[in-house]
Amino acid sequence: MGAVRHRLESVVDEAHWDAAYKRLTASGVSWYQPLGGLSIKLVTALQLPANTSIIDVGGGASTFVDHLIAANFTDVTVVDLSNAALEFAKSRLGPGAPVEWIHADLLAWEPKRSYGLWHDRAVFHFLTDASDRTLYLDRLASATARPGYVVMATFAPDGPDRCSGLPVARYGAEDLTDLLAPIGLRVVASCREEHETPSGEMQPFTWVVARRS
Ligand SMILES: C[S@@+](CC[C@H](N)C(=O)[O-])C[C@H]1O[C@@H](n2cnc3c(N)ncnc32)[C@H](O)[C@@H]1O
């Protein structure tokens, strides 16, 4: 695949994610977490000003955005390939919610601005092709402000090898450190989390916080 992601692939992927959200609903998908989890804990620990621009890539129907609004962040963007997922979040938060919703394929999307915090929980690990990872890292590099932070979570090396019926790549903190270093992002913290799915299955995740100076 070249620099432009193939349109047909985006359409197939979008149908997959739309179907998953419609079948299971926002709170029934395996990645659902009701309380914002480590996402909000790590962001809180960064003590960012309330006007920090924050983007949740592949945010889907996640409640992370609800927690950001409750914490008084005023510049919040969610980008996702699945319109069904975004509709769950939009209807939960209501029409006046101070959120920019972007329905787009992250790998074809051209960021128009940079963000003080890039958040990705369980999205990067779906990129099993090196060319897709390059497209992602290009966007991450151009959309992260200086200074800026990245909070990223993937399945850990001993995590599941599939999610939502799709193969995933698994990472330890050192793997993510090595991936982020060439684009000027230095990992400043990392941890492991056992995520409990709505059906009670445990899924080990690797979390990293990286900083661009
Ligand atoms: C496992 S879910 C995680 C959702 C959310 N981050 C959370 O923690 O609840 C993966 C999300 O990535 C989205 N996604 C997958 N591929 C994408 C792409 N190429 N561009 C944008 N979003 C994508 C899916 O629609 C889905 O919402």
User: Residue 141 maps to which CATH number?
Assistant: 3.40.50.150
Cβ proximity of 90 and 122 under 8 Å = no
Q: Is the pLDDT score of 206 beyond 50?
A: yes
Q: Is the pLDDT score of 10 beyond 90?
A: no
Residue 45 maps to a domain: yes
pLDDT digit string, tens, across residues 35-50: 889 999 999 999 999 9
85 CA → ligand 1 middle, Å: 9
pLDDT digit string, tens, across residues 120-160: 999 999 999 999 999 999 999 999 999 999 999 999 999 99
120 CA → ligand 1 middle, Å: 9
**Which range of residues forms the domain containing residue 80?**
7-212
Q: Is 89 in the pocket of ligand 1 (CB under 6 A)?
A: no
Residue 94 maps to a domain: yes
Predicted TM-score (pTM) of the model is 0.96
Q: Is the pLDDT score of 3 beyond 60?
A: no
Residue 204 maps to a domain: yes
pLDDT of residue 1: 44
- Distance between CA atoms of 1 and 208, rounded to whole angstroms? 28
How many structural domains does the chain have? 1
Please tell me which residue, 2 or 21, carries the higher pLDDT value: 21
Residue 46 maps to a domain: yes
Q: Which residue has the tokens 């070249």?
A: 2
Q: How far lies 160's CA from each of 96, 137, 181, in Å? A: 38, 23, 26
Residue 1 maps to a domain: no
Q: Is 152 in the pocket of ligand 1 (CB under 6 A)?
A: no
Q: Is the pLDDT score of 183 beyond 60?
A: yes
What's the mean pLDDT when you consider all of the chain?
94
**Candidate of 81, 102, 133, 207 to mutate for ligand 1, largest count of ligand atoms within 8 Å of Cβ:** 81
pLDDT of residue 2: 46
CA atoms within 13 A on the CB side of 169: 15
Q: Is 80 in the pocket of ligand 1 (CB under 6 A)?
A: yes
- Distance between CA atoms of 187 and 185, rounded to whole angstroms? 6
Q: Smallest Cα–Cα separation from 176: which of 195, 157, 148?
A: 157
pLDDT digit string, tens, across residues 71-123: 999 999 999 999 999 999 999 999 999 999 999 999 999 999 999 999 999 99
Residue 178 maps to a domain: yes
Q: Is 156 in the pocket of ligand 1 (CB under 6 A)?
A: no
Residue 67 maps to a domain: yes
Strands 115-121 and 53-57: parallel
The predicted model gives 9-18 an average pLDDT of: 88
Q: How far lies 44's CA from each of 13, 37, 152, 153, 160, in Å? A: 32, 11, 15, 16, 28
